[in-house]
Structures are given as C-alpha cells and as structure tokens.
Structure 1
C-alpha cells in the first residue's frame, strides 16, 4: 500500500473545482431563464405548415391500423386555421385522407402528400386513395406531393418514382399541380426529376445539413441554397417544402436546438420569405413524440406548437428558454441541505471548511441533477426509459453524496484515509465507457447525458486530488480509464471540434480517468522501488 499524502496545491485546486462547479450550475440555469430580445416576425400568420396529428403518447404512423378520428383532425385544423393558410400532409393512411374535406370548412388549402416506400402493394394503395381524395376535393388541394424523400432513403429508383408521378397526374384534375419533395442535394443528384413534376419542392433544414449551420446564419444559408437551385432549374417554379428549427435535442457542431433559436430562425425566415414572395412550408405544426425513436430527442421537437397544442414562443417580443429556471436553483438548495445532512452523519471532522465543501458540492450536484431531469423530460417516452434514467440519476447522486462526505473531511483537515467502495467507481466507469462506445460508433442521434455523468466524474476528480489511493486500481478500471478518453475523442473529431458539449464530454472522461491512471503510475513506481 502507498502511504497517505497531502498536497497544498491539490487542496487549493479542489476548492477551485467546487466553486467553479457551483457557479457554473447557477449561471446555466440563470442563463436559460433570461428573456432574449429577438427581431419580430412580420406577421403571426404563416403560409403553410406540415401537419401530422400524431402528437399524443402512443400515436404513430408506423401503426398502419391506427386511424385518427375526423373529430380530432377537425379540432386541430380549426385551431391551425387561426394562423395558417395551408397545411401539408405526408400520407393518405391513418385517417389523413379526410384532411382536405375538413380543411375546406376553415377555408384552408392542403398540400396533399402521398407516401411512397419500398413496398409496391402499399404504394399502390396510397396512390389509389390519394387519387380518390384529390378528385373528391379539387378546390381545397393546392398541390399533390407524390413521395417524400424516397430517393434520399433509397427506397425507389428515379424511374419508378417518375412512373408513380405520371400515374397520379393522369388520374387527377389538371388544375392540381403534382410535385415530388426531397432535400435539395438529392435534386442536384437527380436533376432529371424536374422534368417529371410541375414544380420543384426542396427541403432546406440547416440543422440537418452535412455541415450544420447555426441559427443566426441559417436563413442566409437558405437564401444561398434557394438562389443556387434557381440557377440549376431555370424557368421551373421552386417551393421550399420543409424548413424549420428544433427546440430541443443534441448540439450538432454549432447548431443548437432551443426555443430561442427556433424563434430566431422562424422570425428571420418569415421576413426573408415575405421579401422574395416565395412559396414555402414550415415544418411543423405540432411536436411529434414518435419521431424521437427515429431521429433521437431532436426529432420530436420541430413543432411551432408543443404536443399539447400550445405555442412554444411568441412571434413578437422577447423569448425565454425556460420560464421556470428558478427550479434549478431550488434543486441546488435542496441538494445542498441534503448533502449537509448526509455529511454530518457520524462525522469525525470539525470546522467551517467541511460544511462549506458540503454546501458547494450539494448545490453543484443539485443543479446538475435538475439539468439531467429536464433532459429526461424531453428525451424519455417509454416507461423503461424513465425507469432506467431515474435509477442512473439516483445512483449518480448517491455516489456524489458519499464522496462529498470524504471530500469535506479532507478539506476540513481531517486525516480520513478511508476509500469509497470500489465498485461505485467501477460502475461509473463502466456506464461511461459503454455510452462512449455508443457515441463513438453510432452517435448521430444520441444526446450527451451531461447532468448524469458530471456527478460521479467531477466527484471522483476532486476526491482524487485530495488523496492517494491506498491500493492498485483493478485491471478493469485501468483498462476503462485508458479506453474511455480515447473513445470520447471520436465525437470531438466527428463534430470537427466545433461542438462545445463534445469537448465537455471528453473532459468528463478525463476527470474520472486521470485519478485512476495516476494511482496506477504511483503504485507501479512504488512497487518497483520496493522490489529494488
């Protein structure tokens, strides 16, 4: 065993980490609670918006047997008619073939979608229903979108898609134009598709670009792409079939999903669209919880309204990211008091420094846990997700609280040489490395659970500053301490160093790994000296 060691510089650094963690937690919650002044939109009305009614738990278009009631569609369109002149649909199944007739009641038009995929039988059924719907409601249909991003998904060839478009055009009124919708890059790859449609419908989503664009620059990107596409398809009418910004989810390089950025983007885009008199459609009317399984957390938060049909932000005046930001501070205060209670049990130290350490550690842990809980509210849908996330969060808080007891004892100048149960750190390292693997090899749609892993990582980093481990870390912990930071480099590289959260994730891996590596080195040197 190594003898205990004390280092004044390390004690000072430990205090600094505790203070900075406390201030960071308080500042983050204050920042998302402040009102941000943004330019106003020219109007509350929007020309057209994507409409999918699957906004309640369990509702999904993947369930082909689920049929949305006409009453529910009527309720939605009655509300949407107050702000939108048109809605875009994507399929004829799940009861959506009723949309054009109901929209006519509220003097709305429909950009009617026919969903195409790789199954011929389903495609034929969609087309037959779409043709019947168009012929029954010609006055309320602005256009027919035959297929949505089916070339992007690789489910149809351009030739077969063209045949479907021709079938629909031949069987529907000539007054209704027919188009196909896909991301703008696919139109550049298959420019021949422009000959098959009456107008070109392009999707421009700055957040999802291969090179994501941050919200303040996103509308300029849209302008550039639109101008380029006009040059590629001269004489052909262009419509932006999808554009928008998410309000929650993971950061992609410098493109950050947030309510403030969604409001900024939409207001900027509406001013641009009004100036150039351009046909457009915004994605989307309501948040879609079912999309989280497909695109990660961010997929469920592109709505102008939330899943309860409430507007997420105004079109004029300042915008606040989190009106209840003070709950984060409240969680910090409650956690600080809880840490004091835990730390006072069977204590052998005396002095104000120990109490101060507990208060700082508790407040920082509480604000971090509250951050994670807020993320869980966005990300978790199924009961097992809530259960797993909650268990992990409680486990992280317990580890942080137990370590805070020992940290407080050391900072109170008490010679406490006890060490926490080793399986706690083993479990923290194992969970972290497991998530590192997921992030490294399939992290496009995964969130960074910062609030969860900050608890054990920072706690073990501070504890490592204050004391040497008295025995060699296990070979498994040494292995994970080496592998974790290496894996954590992958998201940094994938985001070309522009994602601040990816850097913080790497820092967390280093925080928990370095004490293990230092202990390994010290024990190896000690054993070598002892043998000599």
Structure 2
C-alpha cells in the first residue's frame, strides 16, 4: 500500500482524476480485502474506478462491495469477446442486479475494444447493448461501449446512452510534445460521431518504461508530461477522463506492464508528480 506521504505528494485533493482504470490478473484473483486496500490507495487521487469484466474472478461483486465500503463510485465493464462470454456476463449481470446494491454504479460498459479487435460485428454489438439496456434500465443504469476513437458506427451509437473512447498516442508513434493534441483531436472526432450523446475518455496513458514505438519514447519523464498535459486539457474542456491505469501490471509483460500511475508495489513512481489540472 502506498504511504500517505507518497499520496499527498502525488495529487491535490480527491479528484485529481475523474476516474482510473483498475485491471485484474485473472490468474491471481483478488479478494474483497485486497480490492479495498487497492482502492484505498487510489482514494487520494480519485473517487471512481472502472473494472473490465463481471464474472471473471467475480470481480464485479467484489468491486461493488469494496467501493461501497469506501464511499466510491464505479463503472462496471462487461467482457464480451465471444457469444459465450456475453452469455456468461449476462448471467453474472442478472445475479448482480438481484443480489447487490448498484446505487454507486455510474454506468455499464458493454465490451472493451471489441470492434477494434474484430471480436464481433457492429450489428451484433448493437444487439448486445440493447439486451443489456433492457435489463438495467429499471435500475437507472446508463450503458456505453468502450472502443478506439475510429470505431463508433452509427448502428452502435444509436443504442448507447453515452460513448467511452480509448486513445493512446503512444501507440500512434507521435512525439510526447504532440501527444495531448493528438488525444484531443481524437476526442473531437468521436464527438462528431456521437449523435449528440455524451463522450467520455475511457482509456489513455503513457508508459514509464519498456521501449519506444516509432517517435513515442517510453520514460518516466514522458509519462509525467503526458499526465500533466492531459489532466490540464480535460480540466479546461470539462471532459470526463478515466486514466489508464491504476498500477503497473507486470503480468502483462513488455511495455504494457508500465502504464500505471502507481507502481506495482502500490507506491508512487519516482519522478511522477500529478497535479489536478493546469
């Protein structure tokens, strides 16, 4: 767990971030207590987390219990890479709605980059979203999908309550000086395709180590600059941003292991100083 001193150095107040993405290693499932410890580490910086699946490691029920114990809010994700996983997630959702308090759920995200990966087609995704909306509407839960900025076809957008956009300028090979402008350009592109519905940034980040991608350099200095630049832009434009990600995740391997705001030891990364805005 990060020390209080490290947390106070890192951010000013509980809303440095609108929200932070929280990944789970399905080969080492967390407990409700380990989630509570993790979320307590994050509380100096945000009052909101996002998870990626319902049934895997029973993470949705655990995360609901952990966030509610700490007075935090949550976006729940459904992992739907195949028809059978959608069925599993729908069964988990029905169980969650029947047995859990969902009053702190800000939204349900049906799928993470499923169109980008080609896991399903737009019409099938639209049908999944429609089924989920019918199930959660009586509970007052809004529904989105999260995908890369150029994968929001109208057939899908029509079914959404709001849009969640992922964009990683690092993986586009841009220089750090152009990275925040690149993110904002992608955001504006999604707004143009949103049919007037709200658009949030569901994932963006920059790695502190692990190698370069074209003109994108992975370093602590560049992660720190990207954090500062992006937090400034979203504050200026009043954009809801869920940063990727909470902690370094060594199980991912390679550069993808180094996108955490905090290290895998839950302590502040040396050289990272986060301020809430400009």
- Same fold by TM-score, threshold 0.5 exceeded? yes
Name the structure 1 match of 2:258.
301
Q: How do 1:354-503 and structure 2 match up within 5 A?
A: none
Name the structure 1 match of 2:36.
74
Name the structure 2 match of 1:181.
146
Name the structure 1 match of 2:268.
311
Name the structure 2 match of 1:275.
236
Q: How do 1:37-48 and structure 2 match up within 5 A?
A: 45-48=16-19
Report the Cα offset of residue 132 of structure 1: 2.9
The CA distance in 2 between the partners of 1:151 and 1:111, in whole Å, is: 20
Equivalent of residue 84 in structure 1, options 46, 50, 55: 46
Report the Cα offset of residue 251 of structure 1: 1.1
Name the structure 2 match of 1:52.
23
The CA distance in 2 between the partners of 1:291 and 1:274, in whole Å, is: 30
Residues 1:198 and 2:155 aligned together: no
Instruction: Say what the alpha-carbon RMSD is for the aligned residues.
Output: 1.9
Q: Give the ranges of 4+ consecutive aligned residues of structure 1 lying more than 3 Å apart after TM superposition.
A: 40-44
Matched residues, number: 259
Consecutive unaligned residues in structure 1, runs of 5 or more: 1-39, 54-59, 317-532
**Compared with structure 1, are the counterparts of its residues 256 and 68 closer, same or farther at alpha carbon in structure 2 (3 Å cutoff)?**
same
Consecutive unaligned residues in structure 2, runs of 5 or more: 1-9
Q: Is the 8 A contact 1:288 1:301 kept in 2?
A: yes
Equivalent of residue 102 in structure 1, options 66, 69, 77: 66
Name the structure 2 match of 1:446.
none
The worse-fitting range, judged by mean Cα deviation, of 260-269 and 71-80 is: 71-80
Structure with bigger gyration radius: 1
State the TM-score, normalizing by the size of structure 1: 0.47
Q: How do 1:318-337 and structure 2 match up within 5 A?
A: none
Determine helix, strand or coil for the equivalent of 2:151.
helix
Q: Is the 8 A contact 2:72 2:104 kept in 1?
A: yes
The CA distance in 1 between the partners of 2:210 and 2:166, in whole Å, is: 20
**Compared with structure 1, are the counterparts of its residues 134 and 285 closer, same or farther at alpha carbon in structure 2 (3 Å cutoff)?**
farther
Name the structure 2 match of 1:128.
91
Report the Cα offset of residue 42 of structure 1: 7.6
C-alpha offsets along residues 189-242 of structure 1, whole Å, 9 cap, x if unaligned? x23210111011111110112xx2222211111122222222232411111110
C-alpha offsets along residues 269-324 of structure 1, whole Å, 9 cap, x if unaligned? 111111111111100001111211xxxx11100000111001112225xxxxxxxx
Q: Is the 8 A contact 1:70 1:95 kept in 2?
A: no
The CA distance in 2 between the partners of 1:171 and 1:156, in whole Å, is: 21
State the TM-score, normalizing by the size of structure 2: 0.87
Q: Is the 8 A contact 2:126 2:155 kept in 1?
A: no
Residues 1:220 and 2:181 aligned together: yes
Q: Is the 8 A contact 2:67 2:74 kept in 1?
A: yes
Instruction: Determine which structure has greater relative contact order: mean sequence separation of CA pairs < 8 Å that are 6+ residues apart, divided by chain length.
Output: 2
- The structure whose residues are more often strand, as a share, is 2
- The structure whose residues are more often helix, as a share, is 1
Q: Is the 8 A contact 2:113 2:147 kept in 1?
A: yes
C-alpha offsets along residues 228-262 of structure 1, whole Å, 9 cap, x if unaligned? 22223241111111011111122112110111101
Determine helix, strand or coil for the equivalent of 1:139.
coil
